[in-house]
Structure 1
Amino acid sequence: MLTAADPLPARPHRVLVAGVSGSGKTTLAGQLARILALPCTELDSLYHGPNWMPRTDFEDDVDQLTRAPGWVTEWQYRQVRRLLAGRADTLVWLDFPVCVSMARLIRRTVRRRLLAEELWNDNFEGPLWTIFTDRDHIIRWGWRTRHSLKALVPSLEGKFPGLHVVRLTSPAEVDAWRERLAAVVAEPAREAGS
């Protein structure tokens, strides 16, 4: 497993971002897609249909997405994790302290609700008070699954040869790693232009 200080063995082309709810998977996926000039797909947009109903084409859509030569997405949804890991070359794991991810999750949930942000397929965050009545409210879900990746991610490289896992343990490590990746990607372009 690589750290923020380790160089990547090759330029990533099929990238996953793993982390618990609120860790910043989607944000980092979008940033990496821009740096690497790759398409980015948010898995939640494929999974959730209207009224939060799971879409029946979800697994087929993920299969089609991952057949492309280059992409960036999140590593989530148990039913497609194996497929995603088997086709990715790089997985960036946001392994933050619980307080960081939960604070981000709470801020994001409150912001989305107060600003009435549309999420996917005409879905919106539910009322904030439902944290007390809905077992699967995103904040309760985030708390319940806060350690869910600790046992899963470390074993991935052994199960999927060719998959490079990068473990980042703080937002500062994410910033430094992302900036180094951008510099490495830009270097060949500068050399070609000289």
Structure 2
Amino acid sequence: MHICVFLSAADLGERYTRPAREFAELLGKGGHTLVWGGSDSGLMKVVADGVRASGGRLVGISVELLREHAREDTDELVITENLAERKALLLSRSEAIVVLAGGLGTLDEATEVLELRKHGLHRKPVVLLNTEGFYDGLILQLRRMEDEGFLPLPLTDLVHIAADGAAVFAHLEESAASDHRPPGTPGP
């Protein structure tokens, strides 16, 4: 499975890097391909290193303005002209999306894929890995949106919230089992 991971390129402490490494190891050992922003720094590097060390493939999709930070030892590296093109390519090249801890770029990417899913423009599972309660505030806001009628469908139809990497992969396996496409076939 090609799994797009949105996450930070910032250097973070052990409370975020340890769970990211554990997630990366599960991704790699599962024979999956990491589709990510292509950076060789921060949490992005931690995950790419973990996937590579565990036998997974790396597909980096970077952007011209960040070319100097792109990881060179990928199985495939694509450089886009702008961030909008990068986001579209990250989504189109994946079968599932997992959101790890990140900043404004990660939040932008996550909300865009949720908006597209809300409108039925893709059916790919979206999982929010809530490491150390990082997304508690966002989850609270999303639930408020649901409770007050701002979401046209249940929050659980948009995003799955997971506490750890094992829960992420359990959900992805469940989603794949309920999907009738042949394994490895990208969805809309």
TM value normalised by structure 2: 0.39
Q: Please tell me whether Structure 1 or Structure 2 has the larger radius of gyration of its CA atoms.
A: 1
Higher relative CO (Cα under 8 Å, sequence separation at least 6) belongs to 1
- The structure where strand makes up a greater share of residues is 2
TM value normalised by structure 1: 0.38
